[in-house]
Structure 1
Amino acid sequence: MINPKRLRHGSTVGVIAPASPPNVQSLQKAMPFLNNLGLNVKIAPHVSSTYGYLAGTDEQRLHDLHMMFDDSDVDAIICAGGGFGTSRIVDSINYKLLKQNPKIFWGYSDITYLHTAIRQKTGLVTFHGPMLSSDVGKKEFDPLSKSMFSQLFHPTLLEYTESTSPLHVISEGEATGKLVGGNLSLLVNTIGSKYEINTKNRLLLIEDVGEEPYRIDSFLSQLKLAGKLDEAAGIVVGDFKDADPKKREESLSLQEVLDYYFASLNKPVISGFKIGHCFPHYAVPLGSKATLSSSSKSLSVQPGVS
């Protein structure tokens, strides 16, 4: 794996919107946070563009991504928001350019597709963390979520225990492997493509938002049938926001769905991690070596920067 270089005071962050249009007001409110970290900010040309539910055409969003990786003055790239659209550009990305210019790449949600493709095509460690319009620019953005950006300035061993949030052991065990994954629905979308998520001997992180138990059941069923659950070394269950059943009066609970797929896996599976569409939002480097342990109810992740 390639660990991008750490940030320093005076480093420049490039802002892109590779999926849906960000909330411009919320994005503007996020700028002082970056400035207070001692960072300069460069906004990509098409961040405020719109093309239906996309932040500009595929060509425009791809241009911004390539521009920021190619710009030697830019030290990190942070996504303004998620939504939809990264799968439309993933096959046109110049992965050679990205590999020759490794730098911090940060986002989550729909950005999961880019995390997966970039890691598997280039070996670059990327970061699953709060985005500018979606999180940083909101009043709910809390101190713990803010503190997660410090890992970009100093190589940091992350230790997630119940001191951060209550954790629930679904299946016991301990395993070490590269941490991969992200948004569950986006991971499922990779199945059958050249960017299909590789979970073999890896710790698989899953999270999602606004999906009812029957939908989560469907996603996990596809991962199971594709062999992704059996191949994984362990499962890190992040936050599933707004997962209460709405369309169906009779429903399995989210916990019943998780137990069905994970309780008999004979590998560590722990839920309750505040990773995903939530506050606090715990940021983690994807591709870094990590250890998941049921005995200590913990997730340990090696530093993402060098």
Structure 2
Amino acid sequence: MRPRRLNKGDTVGVIAPAGPTDKDELLDGISFLNSLGLHVKLGKHVLNQYGYLAGSDQNRLEDLHAMFADKDVSAIFCARGGYGTARIAPYINYHLIANNPKIFWGYSDITFLHTAIRQMTGLVTFHGPMVSSDFSKDDFDYLSKQMFDQLFYPATLLYTDKISPLKIISHGEACGEIVGGNLSVLINTLGTRFELDTSGKLLLLEDVGEEPYRIDAFLNQLKLAGKIDAAAGIILGDFNNVAPKKSSFTLDQVLHQYFQHLHKPVISGLKIGHCFPHFSIPLGVEAKLSTTDKTLLISPGIT
């Protein structure tokens, strides 16, 4: 179920379903959305803070529901990640979302909502940089901004090594629906009713601030849960700030240990995740991953 495209003059909502946001950074981020020709409506609780959360669970849930229910809002952008989306996932009205499909955009901790919404409703959502934590940064570059064009015009996306150096870890070619996102958040879905389904799918993985032994532990849990074997192919995005603090395997060594013997395509080095440029993609659409020409070809995410 693809959401409708945006048009200049549309109103979009901004909410903070995870961690608290900074007011000045939020205002800077809103100016970027305005530059796209969009009007912005803020969630009632977007600037709330409750410990390490952007308001109580009820506050954050209320803003999410309000934006999906609002007929004047054409898309919903998350202010930032952090932590907290798994706390509200069990209480979301998924019938409301299914009956009011619209663009939903974010990444990092938002991975839990991407997974829950897609698996409960079938709605295509978007993995991309966020209003407060990314739009206001000095290194929010041209390509990252250009990726928002896909919300206005249905377009097939093509990732090649002209964007960043790519490494083939395991050879092959596969087609499937793109799922996944932040590795540590995906681990938190296991054993819940929102457990990530990777069967026959292209699994995207990225993370930030985790040492190689932590990445190892996460990948081992995915492997033991059967998620790696079930996937048709693996897309390894950006693993930012993962340098070990003591004697360790390198990240590349860990990735090769888990993926080099798979009989399916595995490519690393894609600039998807906590990085700039940030190549934004729809989740839940068909794509083709090929090591023959080192490409990821992705179907449009809107209608």
Partner AA of 2:158 in structure 1: E
**Could you say which residue in structure 2 is the equivalent of 1:183?**
182
3-state SS in 1 of match to 2:195: coil
**Could you say which residue in structure 2 is the equivalent of 1:218?**
217
- Using the aligned pairs only, state the percent identity: 62
3-state SS in 1 of match to 2:3: coil
**Could you say which residue in structure 1 is the equivalent of 2:252?**
255
- CA offset digits 1:241-272 (Å, max 9, x no partner): 001001xx210000000000000011000000
Shift in Å, 1:52: 0.2
3-state SS in 2 of match to 1:114: helix
Alignment of 1:76-115 (within 5 A): 76-115=75-114
**Could you say which residue in structure 1 is the equivalent of 2:7?**
8
Q: State which drifts further: 31-40 or 88-97.
A: 31-40
- CA offset digits 1:21-61 (Å, max 9, x no partner): 01221111112211111100000010000000000000000
- CA offset digits 1:168-216 (Å, max 9, x no partner): 0000000000000000000011000000000000000000000000000
Q: CA RMSD in A?
A: 0.5
**Could you say which residue in structure 1 is the equivalent of 2:25?**
26
Alignment of 1:34-49 (within 5 A): 34-49=33-48
Q: Which ranges of structure 1 fall in alignment gaps of 5 or more residues?
A: none
**Could you say which residue in structure 1 is the equivalent of 2:61?**
62
Structure 1 segments, 4+ long, off by >2 Å, are none
The reply to whether residue 300 of structure 1 matches residue 268 of structure 2 is no
Partner AA of 2:21 in structure 1: P
**Could you say which residue in structure 2 is the equivalent of 1:266?**
263
3-state SS in 2 of match to 1:29: helix
Structure-2 separation of matches of 1:244 and 1:299: 27
Structure-2 separation of matches of 1:40 and 1:10: 6
Shift in Å, 1:20: 0.3
Shift in Å, 1:151: 0.2
The normalised TM-score by structure 1 is 0.99
3-state SS in 2 of match to 1:139: coil
The normalised TM-score by structure 2 is 0.99
Partner AA of 1:242 in structure 2: N
**Could you say which residue in structure 2 is the equivalent of 1:142?**
141
Structure-2 separation of matches of 1:27 and 1:209: 22
Q: Which ranges of structure 2 fall in alignment gaps of 5 or more residues?
A: none
Structure-2 separation of matches of 1:131 and 1:31: 10
Structure-2 separation of matches of 1:142 and 1:288: 26
